[in-house]
Amino acid sequence: MTRVLTHDPDPRLDLVLERLVDVPRELVWKAWTTPEILMRWFTPAPWSTVACELDLRPGGIFRTVMRSPEGQEFPNVGCCLEIVDQEKFVFTNTMAPGYRPILRASGGVDFPFTAIISLESVGTGTRYTALAIHADEEACTRHRTMGFHDGWGSALDQLVALAPSIGHLRS
């Protein structure tokens, strides 16, 4: 299988998390594309994902609600851009479903990005690549400073820990 990453990361604008995980690609894909499963691992503890809506088609919704340890909820809505079964999932928070552009208030911790999740089978495991593409250095720096690598890495660790039970969960 050839690499599915079709974007050459720019270190000024993009953040990359790449790891080889001992989880079959089919289960990693199921964890990303089944709302009930995604809610169990997607947000690094002690935060949690309390809602998820996912329409796996270009223009479909990718919505999550994250809850802080203090109980504050943070809704996130985005748009699916590209879905290649068990290989690639691309979504963005710059557009709502139906490719409707989202206007953002300036300031805060909100930053626009597009994510490319690429999966490649390696033996019985998966080469997992999460790429966050930003429009400018400021957004990339904010995402890095907020803890992209630690947060997305911790969430991936949670997915790996959940993996033995994913095969038994209903999709």
pLDDT at 7 over 80: no
Q: Which amino acid is at 144?
A: R
pLDDT band at residue 169 under the 50/70/90 scheme: low
- Compute the CA torsion angle 152, 154, 155, 159 (nearest 10 deg): 130
pLDDT at 111: 80
Q: Give the C-alpha distances (Å, rounded to integers) separating 93 from 79, 80, 86, 110, 159.
A: 7, 9, 22, 10, 22
pLDDT at residue 102, rounded to an integer: 86
DSSP letter at 167 equals: T
- Does residue 5 have a pLDDT over 90? no
Q: Supply the pLDDT for residue 160.
A: 96
Q: What is the mean pLDDT of the segment spanning 31-59?
A: 97
In the DSSP assignment, the letter for residue 97 is: G
Which residue bears the tokens 């590209």? Answer: 82
CATH number of 14-164: 3.30.530.20
Q: β-strands 125-134, 113-122: how paired?
A: antiparallel
* pLDDT the model gives residue 2: 44
The confidence band for 166, taking pLDDT boundaries of 50, 70 and 90, is confident
Cα 49 to chain centroid, rounded:
12
Amino acid at the residue 161? A
* Tens of pLDDT, residues 75-114: 999 999 999 999 999 999 999 999 998 876 544 447 889 9
Q: Is the pLDDT of residue 3 over 60?
A: no
Predicted local distance difference test score (pLDDT) of residue 1: 41
Give the whole-angstrom CA distance, residue 102 versus residue 97.
Answer: 10
Domain limits, the chain: 14-164
What pLDDT score was predicted for residue 171? 45
- pLDDT band of 6, cuts 50, 70, 90: low
